[in-house]
Amino acid sequence: MNSILRYWGYLAALGLVLAWTTHNRNWVLILVLSVVVVIYSFFRAPAWCGAPIRKKDAYCRNNAYGLLMGCHLRQHRWEKLKMTVAPKRWRELVGRCLTSTQQKLAVLAGIAGSISTMLALIKVLAKA
């Protein structure tokens, strides 16, 4: 049961797909589900750390939560944060986020959730 609860964000993504496919769209619900999916994939989805370690061309293989978070080591969290802020390291970050099927699914959910968030926010603000 605990292993199923780790993947709650993918259930939210499924709910988001269902919310988009209905003819009577509730834009606030779509906006909330989109934000939940983005938060899950970037900060809670099970993934590998991928922070650089002292060995040349080697990366940390510890378990981490989210694509943008490091593992239990504080320095690794800072390394991943530096990778998201520095434009020169974005290519390296993307390459490390696409190392496993599980991470590829989290990236796909995060990108889809981000696009859905923007579209739903525009629609909600246009109605207000």
Torsion from C-alpha of 97, 43, 52, 83, nearest 10 degrees: 80
Q: Could you tell me whether strands 63-65 and 46-48 are parallel, antiparallel, or unpaired per DSSP bridges?
A: antiparallel
- Is 113 domain-assigned? yes
- Is 26 domain-assigned? yes
Q: Look at the chain and report how many structural domains it folds into.
A: 1
- At 100, is the pLDDT very low, low, confident or very high (cuts 50, 70, 90)? confident
- Is 56 domain-assigned? no
For the chain, give the percent of residues with pLDDT over 70: 98
- Is 54 domain-assigned? no
- Is 108 domain-assigned? yes
| Beta-carbon count within 10 A of 52 CB | 18
End-to-end CA distance of the chain: 42
pLDDT at 106 over 70: yes
Structural domain range at position 103:
2-49+61-127
Cβ atoms of 12 and 80 closer than 8 Å: no
- Is 95 domain-assigned? yes
pLDDT at 41 over 90: yes
Query: What's the pTM value of the predicted model, to 2 decimals?
Result: 0.87
Contacts of 15 (CB under 8 A, 6+ apart): 33
- Is 107 domain-assigned? yes
Chain center to CA of 122: 21
